[in-house]
Structures are given as C-alpha cells and as structure tokens.
Structure 1
Amino acid sequence: MATACEMKKKIQGHPCFGGNHQKNGRMHLAVAPKCNIKCGYCSRKHDCANESRPGVTSRIMTPMEAISKVREVMASPIAGPIIKVVGIAGPGDPLANEETFTTFEMVKQEFPQLMLCLSTNGLLLPESIDRLYELGLHSLTVTINAMDPQVGAQIYSHIIYHGKHYTGVEGAKILIANQFEGVKRAGELGMTIKINTVLTPGINDGQIPLIAARVKELGAFVMNIMPIIPQAELAHITPPSEEYLAEIRKANEGTIGQFAHCKQCRADAIGLIGQDLNLTIAEAACPTR
C-alpha cells in the first residue's frame, strides 16, 4: 500500500484528486452506456440537456470516436495544453462496458503521457481490478453511499450481477461487499483511490463516518462528499445546505482527506473543473429547446 507522501506525488496534475484544478484539466469519454445498478437519485439522459451532472452526455461514443475526440482535443491550442487526465465515468458504469477497456488501451498507446482515470459503482471492481492495474490505471474513484445494507436498500433499488437481478437489502449487501473488497484490492496494488459519497439527508448521514474510517483503512487517499441532486425515486429529498455539507466534511477530515472542489461533472466533461468546454460544444450542436 502506497504511503500518503507517495500518493500526494501521484495526484499532482489530477484536478479531481487534489491537484491544481485551476491549471490542470480532464476529459471524460462517454463510452459506457450500460449500468448494472439503479441508484434512486440517478436519471441518465443521453441528450443535449444544458445541465452539468453525472449521467448526462450529449451522445454515446464508440471507442474509435473517443480516440478521435482525444486527438481533436489534444491538438486544440485551448484545451490541449491543460488536459492531463482522460477519464471514463459513464453515463453508465464503466466496468459494465467492454468499450471502457478498449478505449483505455487506445488512449494509453497513443497518448501515454495522459493519466487514465475511472469512476465506478464498484459492483464489478473485484473481478476487474487486475485488468485496470495492467492497463496502468492512474486513478480510481468508487462511489460508496452506505455500509449497512438496510441503508443501502433505501438508495439502490436493484442491481444486476452476473445476469441476475437482486433487489432491496439482498442487492445492497452484494454491492457493498464488492465495493469494499474492490477498494481493498486496489489499495493493495498501490492505486490512487478516491471515494465519492452522495450525502442524502435523512438516509445516509450516519453512514459517512463509518465509510470514511473503513476506506481509509483500506488505502483510499481522499473522500469526496457530494450533495444529492434530487431526482428520480429520491426527487423528494431536500439536498443538504452548503453549511451542512461543510459540517459533514469537516467532521470527517480528521479521518481522511476531503475533496471540496467537485462540480459533479457530466460524463462528457472537457476542460477545467467548473469550466466545461464540451458543454459549449454540446449547446452549439443541439437545437433550441
């Protein structure tokens, strides 16, 4: 397991792990449409919606289209110099899509200087971690919202695991076990790990200190506590205030480092955090709604 000092050196240049997010940018490739779980706060749209949040993309790309996009962006005098990271974060779960691995292979071969980054719900992480390691994955983000399956069942309605549907507590139990096993194995391999946790007031508030302590023990470097964006089955939830979010982060910073610059980016985000170059491109390409 890598030391904290080694991790700090590794994240230099990665804006989503604590690197300089005002100078270093990232590029998300939306090549992963399929998902294997259903989160109550998730509403995925593959259109040109003028919004910035996970699950939104202008369109799904094939791996060949993705590498062409990387070439285009890296050749741009505006975007090219600032892009340090190529990530796959959806709009589904990257590990449920073989296109993820194909795309990373091509990016690694043609642009070896770019960091490879992946964000996953963790269901397939234990069985995928060796492939990711062999690809030279630089950074791994795992979204973990609960330790208790009873709580998880209030957030996840079902999972699809090896062709079978599991609902409620049964599904949450499998998902949570795989998430922590995947983080454990990634930590043993020395990967740079960030944990995303969606703060859902009234549901998982009490789980966050437990998650923070466990993932730190397993080798995670930083935690990103994000406010829920109420929609879908959890549209009735009132999101946390900025003050409450700051309070929760502060309460856990003694356990694990807290990342507070997240803007809950689109699955096709390009550029600096908070300055999405691709959103402008998407707006120009879409008819007025």
Structure 2
Amino acid sequence: MACFEANLDKQFEKISNRHPCFGGEASMTKGRVHLPVSPICNIQCKFCKRTFNKFEQRPGVTGKLLTPDKAAALIDKALEFCPEITVAGIAGPGDTLVTPHALETFKYVNERHPQLINCLSTNGLLLERYAQDLFDAGVKTVTVTVNAVDPEVLQHICSSIVLDGKRYEGLEGAQIHIEAQKRGIKKMAELGAMIKINIVLIPKINDFHIAEIAKTVQALGAAIINIIPLIPQHELSDVPAPTCEELNKARVAAEKFLPVFRHCQHCRADACGIPGQGDLSHLLYEYSGLDQTFSHG
C-alpha cells in the first residue's frame, strides 16, 4: 500500500506540474484547449443549462460543435496561438461518453500530438464501460463530477438518468448513478489514470455532505478534488450561490481526505489558452454563425 501511495504521489506531482486544472502553479503557466465534440447528455442535473453562445463563461456552453477529425486538426492552430498548451481536454457540452466522438477524438490527438495530456470530463455513468478504451486511447487524466454519494442527497440534484435507452428517476436513478460512478472511478484509477473529482457545492442540498464524498472517492483512488460553487440556474435558479465562507468550509472538509484544487475558472466546453489569462476561443473557432445541432438529450 505504501508503495502504491508513493507511486500515486509521484504521478500526481508529474501531472500537476503540467496540467492547469490539477496544479495551482500550472494553472498560471500552462494552457489547455477544450474540444467541443460531445453533443448529448445522459443525465439531467437540476442546475445544468447547456446552450450555444459566445459569451457565457461556464461549463456546458460552446459556440459550435466539432467533428472528431476537425477537433484534432484544430490543435495545430491552438498551439500556434498558445504554445504553452499542454492539455487537450474534452468537457462537453454534453457528456463525453454518451457518443463515441470523444474517444475518436482522443485517438486522433494521441497520434498527432503524443506530447499532450489527454483529459476527459464525465458524469461517470458510463466510465466503467469505456475505461479501458479511454486509457488505450491515451487518456491519462479524468475528471468525474460527483455531487453526492448518498441517493437521498443526489435525488435533489439530479432529476433523471438515461442508461441503455431506459430512463430512471428519483432514488432509483440516483442509486444507479452513484454505483456506476464508484465502479468507473475505481477501474480508471486502477488502470493508472489520474482522477480529479468535481463537486458542485449547493447550499442546503449537499453542503453538509462534502466530507463523505471526499472520503468515498479517496478510497476509490481519486487524487484531487475541485469544489465548484453553484451557478443558480434552471431548476435551482432560486438557490443562492454559496458564499466565500461556505465554499472555504467545504474545501476544508474535503482537504481532510484529498488535496483541493482552488483555481477553477468555470471553463467553457470550447475554452482555449492559459486559465485566467484570457480565453482564445474567439481566435481558434470561426463563430460566423452558431451551430445549433446540439441535443439536450
């Protein structure tokens, strides 16, 4: 166990020095490009509002969708604008594992730019199913959004899930989702991927539950946690965003189990550049018109 933990610490140090979403110093000096190739989501979170536009700075937003081959080719252009880019990431605008587009994109990227870190963000519902394929395609860092590990809590955050063509709601859907996430995180970590856990902090819904989430994902092999303040919208538009004090309290609770990343920029699904130093997506993508082919799934 001590040997495993030492290897994990060494691997984490190597990744965090190059990945702006895993290390604080890297977030100021290293860049990433998000490739918006995943159109559909298989869960409906009550705070999630996916859309097309050029101005909102938050997850679930992009100006257009790209095909896997065009996304991979675009990295050459991104590296011209920002040579500091070390990460090719896919974070939506839907879930990255519902369609094969993300996996296809990473295969292209890994062939053309093996020096880049391939990074996937997912809700984890299908992570176990595609873990080996992702790892074989060069995906070595994975971010999983885990907002609760108790279905009694998660049912107030996630309205429904769709798995293999069947919709599940309430406690049943929450239970299926949580167990799938656990299996997926464990399998991906065992393969050797570095796992970051995103938690959306929602006052009076999961704010009391942060330590339990952190304890659970630590045991599954996660390496770091990122706590994101709720953006009030959609079904949770009446829930206030957490205060700085509430956010800090949650981070302290999580840090008893895992390191906490504190430099998140709420990045779009088409973000490009060094986080916090200005987004270059307006240069990278030709937004002459918005591509409205996205399905809310």
Q: For the superposition of Structure 1 and Structure 2, which TM-score range results when normalised by the shorter chain?
A: over 0.9
Shift of 1:264: 1.1
Q: Contact 1:159 / 1:165 at 8 angstroms: preserved in 2?
A: yes
**Residue 60 of structure 2: aligned partner:** 55
Judged with a 3 Å threshold, the aligned counterparts in structure 2 of structure 1 residues 51 and 9 are, in CA distance, closer, same or farther, namely: same
**Residue 194 of structure 1: aligned partner:** 196
Candidates 17, 35, 38, aligned match of 1:32: 38
Matching of residues 87-106 of structure 1 within 5 Å? 87-106=89-108
Q: 143-152 or 277-286, which moves further after superposition?
A: 277-286
TM-score (normalised: structure 1): 0.94
Looking at structure 1, the residues matched to 132 and 112 of structure 2 have their Cα atoms a distance apart, in angstroms, of 22
**Residue 13 of structure 1: aligned partner:** 18
Q: Contact 1:216 / 1:255 at 8 angstroms: preserved in 2?
A: yes
What percent identity do the matched residue pairs reach?
A: 44
Candidates 273, 276, 280, aligned match of 2:279: 276
Candidates 162, 173, 176, aligned match of 1:174: 176
Looking at structure 2, the residues matched to 284 and 62 of structure 1 have their Cα atoms a distance apart, in angstroms, of 15
Looking at structure 2, the residues matched to 137 and 68 of structure 1 have their Cα atoms a distance apart, in angstroms, of 18
Q: Contact 1:222 / 1:259 at 8 angstroms: preserved in 2?
A: yes
Q: Secondary structure at the match of 2:28?
A: coil
Looking at structure 2, the residues matched to 222 and 52 of structure 1 have their Cα atoms a distance apart, in angstroms, of 23
Q: Contact 2:146 / 2:213 at 8 angstroms: preserved in 1?
A: yes
Return the letter of the residue paired with 2:165.
G
**Residue 130 of structure 1: aligned partner:** 132
Looking at structure 2, the residues matched to 84 and 202 of structure 1 have their Cα atoms a distance apart, in angstroms, of 38
**Residue 72 of structure 1: aligned partner:** 77
- Segments of 5+ residues of structure 2 without an aligned counterpart are 291-297
**Residue 29 of structure 2: aligned partner:** 23
Matching of residues 109-124 of structure 1 within 5 Å? 109-124=111-126
Q: Contact 1:86 / 1:116 at 8 angstroms: preserved in 2?
A: yes
- Residues 110-135 of structure 1, C-alpha deviations (whole Å, 9 max, x = no match): 11111100000000011111111111
Looking at structure 2, the residues matched to 192 and 252 of structure 1 have their Cα atoms a distance apart, in angstroms, of 18
Q: How many residues align?
A: 283
**Residue 84 of structure 1: aligned partner:** 86
Looking at structure 1, the residues matched to 8 and 125 of structure 2 have their Cα atoms a distance apart, in angstroms, of 26
Q: Contact 2:151 / 2:174 at 8 angstroms: preserved in 1?
A: yes
Q: Contact 1:150 / 1:169 at 8 angstroms: preserved in 2?
A: yes
Return the letter of the residue paired with 1:41.
F
Looking at structure 1, the residues matched to 286 and 228 of structure 2 have their Cα atoms a distance apart, in angstroms, of 26
Shift of 1:243: 2.0
- Residues 218-238 of structure 1, C-alpha deviations (whole Å, 9 max, x = no match): 111100011000111111110
Looking at structure 1, the residues matched to 135 and 283 of structure 2 have their Cα atoms a distance apart, in angstroms, of 34
Looking at structure 2, the residues matched to 239 and 133 of structure 1 have their Cα atoms a distance apart, in angstroms, of 36
**Residue 141 of structure 1: aligned partner:** 143
Shift of 1:14: 0.3
Q: Contact 1:46 / 1:60 at 8 angstroms: preserved in 2?
A: no
Instruction: Determine whether 1:253 maps to 2:255.
Output: yes
Shift of 1:6: 2.6
Return the letter of the residue paired with 1:182.
G
Shift of 1:281: 6.0
Runs of 4 or more, structure 1, over 4 Å off, are 279-287
Candidates 224, 234, 238, aligned match of 2:226: 224
Return the letter of the residue paired with 2:28.
Q
